[in-house]
Amino acid sequence: MTDFSERTRVFAQIAAAAWLIGSVIWSIDVGFDRFGDDGNVMNLIGWVALVVAGVFTLLAILGVAPAHHRGPMVKTGIAFHALGLTATVVVFWAVPLWAALYSIAMVLYAIGLPQVRRATLIVAGAMVAAVAAFIVLTALQVGTPDSYGDYPIAWATSFFLATIGGALGSLVLSRRETDSKSNIPAAV
């Protein structure tokens, strides 16, 4: 194993941990409003966790696909990932927006980087499930609406699905074996 593959593995592990932290904080805070007056601090920690998760997921993908291995699908995936990360920074609470952008990026990575297809499709599937859950639970008006007229259970479920999927996909990516010649994860 080389430094390059080890660095990529560490980036994926950091991303997995950050997705998991974001999952716990946001699912509890948004769904059940359990932090009370400390909610602002927890919101900040949750926001930082989501941003860190997005950044380190992107760094792991960049590590898997060095510049000379990036075809048009991967480059387009990086652009959608950057848009998803920007959406996370600006409107972190808008799960359907950033989850949709990340899912597009992950599908493009799956097409352009077959060696990480399993990991990226786990993330893409979870992000699509998060958006679908949000739409369905909101349409069915599950739970009691909050002061904004939103349904916290829909938000919490979508946060949970998106972030757990991000954590699982990142963990799978961190477990990939590398081809010692190219230093790129072996194909699935």
Q: CA 169, CA 172: separation in Å to the nearest integer?
A: 5
Report the pLDDT averaged over residues 73-81: 93
pLDDT above 70: percentage of residues in the chain: 83
pLDDT above 90: percentage of residues in the chain: 34
**Which amino acid is residue 164, in one-letter code?**
I
Q: How crowded is residue 93: how many other Cβ atoms within 10 Å of its Cβ?
A: 16
- Would you say residue 97 lies in a domain? yes
Number of helices (H) and strands (E), helices first, in the chain? 6, 0
Residue 178 pairs with which residues in a beta bridge?
185
Residue 33 pLDDT more than 70? no
- Would you say residue 16 lies in a domain? yes
Q: What is the pLDDT of residue 27?
A: 65
The model carries a pTM of: 0.81
- Would you say residue 187 lies in a domain? no
Number of domains within the chain? 1
- Would you say residue 135 lies in a domain? yes
- Would you say residue 188 lies in a domain? no
Report the pLDDT averaged over residues 58-74: 83
Q: CA 33, CA 39: separation in Å to the nearest integer?
A: 8
Q: Are 180 and 4 in contact (CB under 8 A)?
A: no
Share the mean pLDDT of the chain: 82
Residue 17 pLDDT more than 50? yes
- Would you say residue 39 lies in a domain? yes
Q: Write out the two tokens for 8.
A: 């990529």
Q: How would you class 180 by CB atoms within 10 Å of its CB: exposed for 0-12, middle for 13-18, buried for 19 or more?
A: exposed
Range of the domain at 155: 3-174
| Model pLDDT for residues 101-123, shown as the tens digit of each residue | 999 999 999 998 888 889 899 99
> Which long-range CB contacts under 8 A does 27-35 form with residues at least 24 apart?
27/156, 27/159, 27/160, 27/163, 28/156, 30/93, 30/152, 30/155, 30/156, 30/159, 31/152, 31/153, 31/155, 31/156, 31/157, 31/159, 31/160, 32/152, 32/156, 33/152
Q: CA 113, CA 182: separation in Å to the nearest integer?
A: 14
- Would you say residue 126 lies in a domain? yes
- Would you say residue 130 lies in a domain? yes
| Model pLDDT for residues 144-161, shown as the tens digit of each residue | 887 778 888 888 888 888
Q: CA 4, CA 30: separation in Å to the nearest integer?
A: 38
Report the pLDDT averaged over residues 165-184: 72
Helix (H, G, I), strand (E, B) or coil at 142: coil
Q: Write out the two tokens for 176.
A: 């990939």
User: Which residues, at least 6 apart from 36, have a Cβ–Cβ distance to it below 8 Å?
Assistant: none
